Structure 1
Amino acid sequence: MKKFLSLVLVTFFTVSYNAFAQEEESSKPELSISGSVDAYYRANLNASNSLLTPDADGDYNTYIAPTSSFANKPGFALGMANVILGLEGKKTGFVADLVFGPRGTDAVFGSTTASSSIVNQLYAYWNVSEAVTLTIGNFNTFLGYEVISPTGNYNYSTSYMFSYGPFSHSGLKADFSFGDVTAMLAVMNPTDATDFNPSGDYVLGAQLGYGGAYLNFIYSDDFYQVDLTAGWDLTDALYLGVNATKAKDSFSGAALYLQNSFSDSFSLGLRGEYFKDEAGLAIAADESVIDLTLSANYSIGNLTLIPEFRMDMLSYDDGYILKGDQTYDANGNISGIANAELGKSLSSFTLAAVYAF
């Protein structure tokens, strides 16, 4: 009997130990891999698709397109390949978000080395408690309605407010969660200085969220930007998003995002944006532009097709060189445009394909 009880106890503890070991092993965080790839076709509807226009330096090496980020090349063009490696533990974890291609290059323009030019985000975090998380490293901005990855946006082309606001920050932030109320405080390098701090100056960041609305703020000695983003499901099918922003001595704007789902695989969305350029960054100093973008999203498994019509309307005449004859200098480089036909609006069509994994 004693031998039998001993055998039972040994068997019980062996099974219990193995079960505990398996549970402990299964609770270990596993490496996750996700991301996306995207490509697109774009054509101007009322302007040339091959005519070069002057850039900020007066050089004729850019194409006619809205001066907002991404989806701005003619014909068939590449977006980016986005690969995100993550390890999410109960207390700690990390994210390494890598980008390859033109969209990724534009997003990480502040990088200074070849190796860091593919790093969209690179950070580690610590869940100090259920209410507090600390994050250090390089993370995408908390300002604005839109993001770098096309999987996070409804419209494929991006707004002016997103294009001229910050893309990424490097620093230390603390996120707080108090039920329906969330908050964030951050100390960061100058905006988009992702590799290191080149000036010794720092930027303070803050966010307050409640009920689907977020008030965002960044501040440095000579600059501030305040930003409001919000989104609500008006019905089971209809969604409304809002973004408004003001950057000191730079720009201001507001946008509405209206989207309606007609089925599990098809929806339509309209973005209407007003953007005031106070510093001449995007269009011209003290001028404005209205961007109307109508997009459809059609999903086939993990693939989303996005046909999109966009119209950009300037507040002043002759803002776009719509047509003309290229002139050349003695070296055969384009030096200007003769017989130029100018206009204040630009309409275009884009067909994008975004695959998420």
Structure 2
Amino acid sequence: MKKIALLLSCSLVAYVGKAQDSTALAVKAPASTATPTAAPAAEPVSTGKFTFSGYLDTYYFGNFNNPKSQSNLGLSGENVGNARAFDQKAGQFGIGLVQAKALYTSDKVDAVFDLAFGPFADLGNYGNNVGFLGAGSTSLAIKQAFVTMKATPKLSFTAGQFGTHIGYEVIDAPVNYNYSLSNLFNNGPFYHIGLKGQYNFSDKVYLMLGVVNNVDNIFDNNKRKGLIGQLFVSPVSGWNVYLNAIVSNEASPDSLGNTPDGNYSLFDLTTTYQISSKFFLGLNAAVGSQKGGFQVPYGVNESRSWSGIALYSNYTFTDKFGLGVRYEIFDNKSGVRALTDAAGNGASVNSITITGNITAAEGHVLLKPEFRLDSYSANKFQKNDGSLTKSQATLGMAAIFKF
């Protein structure tokens, strides 16, 4: 958790009991000399445990267009564009995100305390930065904060703020094969606040349903609630399939306090397949639609849609080096999302990203050299002389420390 982009796995621990037969007959002792029967042993009490983890990342990316703005975002009318999610600066060193995470686990309850600081954390909390809270609020540091109650071994309920279930990629830089994030990630939800329940039919199938506030905000912007869902299926070992959805009214109240009718929906397929111990494939496809306002009172009167598909691969050459490739097509020609051309009109974009994954310092340091090429359907990016071009190529490296 915009959602949350990301891989999941299930494990089953089997306890096998062996029955013993005995043909010997026990001889009952006289009552006066019989050994007293021991009281049944009390069930062990689970005390739970804490696990601490975190990371920090820094990066440098050069831009072959050498834009005067030193930005990878491109243009959108009179405003900056939305061509990159987080790694927005060109030709300069940058700090990404510093994470501190605590996880409490026990038989009956789990809890996550996940804090994030830095420019990427602020961008992930865009809804609060420019909305209700404004810059400087300590609430902006909350990346995730939720508790999971295990009602039964199969049924659990989670309440609080959690990363989105939508999409393949996640905000955490050590987890993704690529450092820069996809347009699918950038245009999907990042997190939700609400209540969700999950039922595990088996280790190969589960269903999650939930009720949430509006997306990417710590306070709801209206009285309507959104619905989320996820169906997980693992047809064979190594192959995971996730069907994800969210439907809500994201319109803000008008000047009279009334919430206009609106509909925001996003349906998402994420599937991963570990073909061999070295070769991995992933696919993320999504289609969304919007009618009415999106966190504003009014918007488009008719339903407009956007869509995208991304193919992921990673080949692990050694335990120290792997190569990840992402190819993505994103279509926002309707203009309903923020990804537009330099004139502010709807656009489509093809992107390819090639990322090395170098592991050092016993797994605590990750180095990610990366090349990315974005090609738009119309002029999007600025050159050093102020002229415009449809494409942008960047080359650089990210360094990540994790524990």
TM-score range (shorter-chain normalised) is 0.7 to 0.9
Amino acid at match of 1:282: L
**How many Å separate the matches in 1 of 2:82 and 2:347?**
15
1:87 touches 1:94 (CA, 8 Å); kept in 2? yes
Q: Structure 1 residues 207, 154: CA separation in 2 closer, same or farther (over 3 Å shift)?
A: same
What pairs with 1:121-132 in structure 2 (closer than 5 Å)? 121-132=144-155
What pairs with 1:1-357 in structure 2 (closer than 5 Å)? 24=45, 27-48=46-67, 50-51=69-70, 56=76, 58=78, 67-74=83-90, 75-111=92-128, 112-113=132-133, 114-179=137-202, 180-193=204-217, 195-211=218-234, 212-221=240-249, 222-248=263-289, 249-277=304-332, 278=334, 279=336, 281-284=338-341, 285-300=345-360, 301=362, 302-316=364-378, 318-324=379-385, 340-357=386-403
Corresponding pairs, count? 319
CA-to-partner distance for each residue in 1:194-250, whole Å, 9 max, x for gaps? Answer: x22221111001111111010001112512110000100112211000000011024
2:74 touches 2:82 (CA, 8 Å); kept in 1? no
**How many Å separate the matches in 1 of 2:264 and 2:82?**
26
Higher RCO, Cα 8 Å, sep 6+:
2
Query: Shift of the alpha carbon at 1:66?
Result: 6.5
2:287 touches 2:307 (CA, 8 Å); kept in 1? yes
2:97 touches 2:120 (CA, 8 Å); kept in 1? yes
Query: Shift of the alpha carbon at 1:51?
Result: 4.8
Amino acid at match of 1:142: H
Q: Structure 1 residues 49, 84: CA separation in 2 closer, same or farther (over 3 Å shift)?
A: farther
Q: Segments of 4+ in structure 1 off by > 3 A?
A: 49-57
Any unmatched runs of 5+ in structure 1? 1-8, 325-339
Any unmatched runs of 5+ in structure 2? 1-35, 235-239, 250-262, 290-303
Q: Quick check: 41-50 or 218-227, which moved more?
A: 41-50
Amino acid at match of 1:45: F
**How many Å separate the matches in 2 of 1:43 and 1:230?**
32
Amino acid at match of 1:88: T
Q: CA RMSD, aligned part only?
A: 2.3
Q: Quick check: 140-149 or 68-77, which moved more?
A: 68-77
Q: Structure 1 residues 155, 49: CA separation in 2 closer, same or farther (over 3 Å shift)?
A: farther
Q: SS at 2:126's partner residue?
A: coil
CA-to-partner distance for each residue in 1:100-129, whole Å, 9 max, x for gaps? Answer: 100111111223430210001111110111
Q: Quick check: 48-57 or 251-260, which moved more?
A: 48-57
Greater share of residues in helix: 1
Greater share of residues in strand: 1
Q: SS at 2:127's partner residue?
A: coil
Amino acid at match of 1:244: A
2:381 touches 2:389 (CA, 8 Å); kept in 1? yes
**How many Å separate the matches in 2 of 1:257 and 1:44?**
23
**How many Å separate the matches in 2 of 1:274 and 1:138?**
30
Q: TM-score, normalised by structure 1?
A: 0.84
**How many Å separate the matches in 1 of 2:106 and 2:309?**
38
**How many Å separate the matches in 2 of 1:29 and 1:51?**
49
Amino acid at match of 1:307: P
